[in-house]
Amino acid sequence: MPDRRRLGTGSDPQPLEGFMPSTIPSTAFRTIPLAALLLAAGCTAPPAAAPSPTVPTVPTVPTVPTLRLGTEAELARAAGVERLEAFWTARGRAGSFQGAGGLTLRTMTFLQADRAAEKGAIVISSGRTESMIKYKELVHDLWLNGWSVYIHDHRGQGLSAREPAVADAPMKGHVERFGDYVDDLRSFVRGPVASGGHRNVFLLAHSMGGAISALLLQAEGPPLFRAAAMSSPMLRIKGLAGLPADLLSCRIGAGETRIGHATDYVIGGKGYVAPPFEGNNLTGSRVRYDWVLAQDAAHPQTRLGSPTYGWLAQSCEAALQARSRGERVRTPVLVMQAGSDGIVHNSGGEEFCDGVRKTQPARGCDGRGGGPVVVPGAQHELFIETDDKRDEVLRRTLAFFEAHRLP
């Protein structure tokens, strides 16, 4: 992907996954009135269309065998947390590989004991700010249901190395080139994952990982996966005042990047902050929200704050490319969106699926009419939502993978 500098913004708090704070200090924009910027944005050519209202619809979930899934009740008990930790330690194999530019990226691998009976391998591509430790419950669920699991921390976050430009400020969410995320994921699959010799390999992506995965699926070359599933993919970011970032935030960030502020925090940005559950726009599950914060506290080295202008510049361009080139995707893909997403505009996923339908008309993105599957009432973090919504997402995901795996 060309190294072009544009950017997008979002508006959620920092500890779980976020882009940019929604509150703007009075000194923002270097005395340029916000109203003037809004008007200027309306005069640019041509901004992304405002998202159309999404009707929350969930087609009938395919029939699957009974799944063993974690519950909020289990996670609320000390014994449940201890069981997850014991699994992570006993079954997980820590590793690393060299990403683009030689950056060291950390990995965890969870193989089935009986490789002949495994259903396949699932590669997880996580969201911004996230570390592998946030995925302990999800990895445990996938493994319990017969899948081997691979996960790595993206460059610049979690346990992986930070970009050299912000090595002295490890809480800055920065990337020099969004395409490096894509190259890293490709290297992970062709290296550590391929060495496992799995007959069936699937991709499960969330948020920023969805944008990374969409770009990888659009790349030329032999297919890497039997199928892919995306949760709340970052294909159109919400920016200031909840507007699509393309309208205003991208322009602000592009300007800041051009004048040498690529490694500065975005407007109002700061280091890690742990906000209360009340008023969050990430999940309706207090138990899972609090559990993730506890994981952050136990592993402070994984904490990440707001993004930089450079990260946003790259991410805005990446989201645009990913959503506008869906017709290049040949791999079967399932897109699941949160009906009450406060982080990304679901219109980005709809545009992506419009393209997928051109070359995969029979399925599209596996929702009604080939569009995305929308989970009513769910917030952005589908994998740490309340049991009813999370179970819906996992049942649909694993049924989709089952339908596409080779026996």
Q: 30 — alpha (psi -120 to 50), left (phi > 0) or beta? A: left
**Residue whose structure tokens are 């609090």:** 290
With residue 202 as reference, give the H or E element that holds it. Answer: strand 201-206
Structurally, how many domains does the chain consist of? Answer: 1
**CA–CA distances in Å: residue 91 to residues 80, 198, 302, 311:** 16, 18, 21, 34
Among 27-36, 222-231, 330-339, 346-355, name the one with the lowest average pLDDT. Answer: 27-36
Mean pLDDT of all residues in the chain?
Answer: 88
Q: Is residue 18 part of a domain?
A: no
Q: Is residue 197 part of a domain?
A: yes
Cα 37–40–44 angle (5° rounding)?
135
Q: Is residue 13 part of a domain?
A: no
Cα separation, 22 vs 11, in Å, equals 5
Q: Is residue 14 part of a domain?
A: no
Q: What contacts 26, CB < 8 A, 6 or more positions away?
A: none
CATH number of the domain bearing residue 164: 3.40.50.1820
Q: With the C-alpha atoms ordered 262, 266, 267, 269, is the resulting torsion angle positive or negative? A: negative
Q: Model confidence over 131-180: pLDDT tens digits? A: 999 999 999 999 999 999 999 999 999 999 999 999 999 999 999 999 99
Among 20-34, 307-321, 386-400, name the one with the lowest average pLDDT. Answer: 20-34
Q: Is residue 22 part of a domain?
A: no
pLDDT at 1: 40
pLDDT at 302: 97
181 — pLDDT class (breaks 50, 70, 90): very high
pLDDT at 252: 85
Q: Is residue 253 part of a domain?
A: yes
Rounded to an integer, what is the distance from CA 51 to the centroid of its chain?
20
Q: Phi and psi dihedrals of 104, rounded to 5?
A: -85, 120
Q: Model confidence over 54-80: pLDDT tens digits? A: 433 445 555 556 899 999 999 999 999
**Helix/strand/coil for 375:** strand
Q: Is residue 7 part of a domain?
A: no
Q: Model confidence over 217-275: pLDDT tens digits? A: 999 999 999 999 999 999 999 988 888 999 988 888 888 999 999 999 999 999 999 88
Q: With the C-alpha atoms ordered 169, 173, 176, 182, is the resulting torsion angle positive or negative? A: positive
Share of the chain above pLDDT 70, in %: 84
Q: Is residue 356 part of a domain?
A: yes
Domain that holds residue 121: 28-49+62-404
pLDDT at 109: 98
